[in-house]
Amino acid sequence: MKRARIIYNPSSGRETAKREMLGIIRVYEEAGYETSTYATTPEPFSAQKEATRAAFEGFDLIVAAGGDGTINEVVNGIAPLKRRPKMAIIPAGTTNDYARALKVSRDDPLEAAKVILKGQTIKMDIGRISTRGGLVEEEGQISAPADARYFMNIAALGTLSEVTYAVPSVMKSLYGYLAYLVKGAELLTRLEPVKAKVVYDDGEYDGDISMIFLALTNSVGGFESIVPDAKLDDGQFTLLIVKAANLWQITQLAAQVLNGSHVNNPQLIYKKTSKVEITPLSDDDHPIKVNLDGEYGGDAPMTFENLKQHIEFVANLSAIDVDATNAKIQEEFMEQVEALEATQHEPKADEKEKY
């Protein structure tokens, strides 16, 4: 029998997933998985360590129940491994960007769990970052930089990128988006560009930068219009570089984001790329902090690589826009649906004589 391990953050989303856990377990068992749970602890990387352990124990499915931070930890737990179990998510955080991208319910943990019953999955691109070049090759692992870390949705650099990890977790739980808005307004008043060199597949930019985004999905901070043409499985980041801008220009750019017209803004570089190298050029001691899926992920310089279709996720694939996925995958999925429908409507053997 297949086995599933639910790794859940008991304090995420006002404990909604925790309250529904018995029902969630029943859903996965209905889908054919012998299911067990693990509640994360305050120990650093608790979810990540458990995900690695569960993968080595041979679990077929790991379910990350919590906010994007919990999902990120589980991804980091299995991304370096040669044998990577499938993943499912049950959102219970503040923004739940990844659930939005996979078209999983963000409001009802039980409904999010029921996506497993559809039998639909997609192999998602994963981002890998490193600051040094040394490689490791251990049992069960793939070759990777010794200091590699992974992200599944967004990497961001610059003052405004600090907003998510600058908001205390208790404020996120109590006030949700309001906490981000308050902190964002505060950071806007002290926006300072940084000088950096950004090298990508077909070019480079060297100069003052207000912010850098590398997106893997089209859902960033609750908005789907920031990277409207993002694909989930094509091996390409969407790179956005906001050049040095004053408060008025940033405000104008933010307004354009709401309708997707920001792509042609002269203050913005918008590119598709599979690899990005970011090197600070400033002489001062102010570091360029990196935000990975809403949490502090270290300081540049860093190299970012896209690992194409690296982890298979349970998803509501039939609800995902065809433009957001690889055309071949979508075509194969539709062929499977049509074949299933044909089987369901095919007359039984004793009924064929009537036709």
At residue 30's C-alpha, the angle toward residues 24 and 31, to 5°, is: 95
What's the number of CA atoms in the CB half-sphere (13 Å) around residue 112?
28
CB atoms within 10 A of CB 319: 12
Please tell me whether residue 16 adopts helix, strand or coil conformation: helix
Q: What is the DSSP letter of 120?
A: -
Alpha-carbon Rg for the chain in angstroms: 21
Q: Which of 224, 295, 346, 353 is catalytic?
A: 295
Please tell me whether residue 288 adopts helix, strand or coil conformation: coil
Q: Can you point out the beta strands (E) in the chain?
A: 2-8, 33-39, 61-66, 86-91, 121-130, 135-136, 144-145, 149-151, 154-157, 194-200, 203-215, 237-243, 268-273, 275-280, 289-292, 295-299, 302-314
- Joined together, the tokens standing for residue 160 give 């405004």
At residue 320's C-alpha, the angle toward residues 318 and 326, to 5°, is: 100
Query: Which residue type sits at 268?
Result: L
CB atoms within 10 A of CB 124: 25
CB atoms within 10 A of CB 270: 15
- Joined together, the tokens standing for residue 307 give 């690992």
Q: Which residues contact 285 (CB under 8 A, 6 or more apart)?
A: none
Q: Residue 241: left (phi > 0), alpha (psi -120 to 50), or beta?
A: beta
Q: Are 92 and 109 in contact (CB under 8 A)?
A: yes
Of 326, 304, 308, nearest in space to 317 by CA? 326
Is 346 labeled as catalytic in the residue annotation?
no
Residues carrying an active site annotation: 295
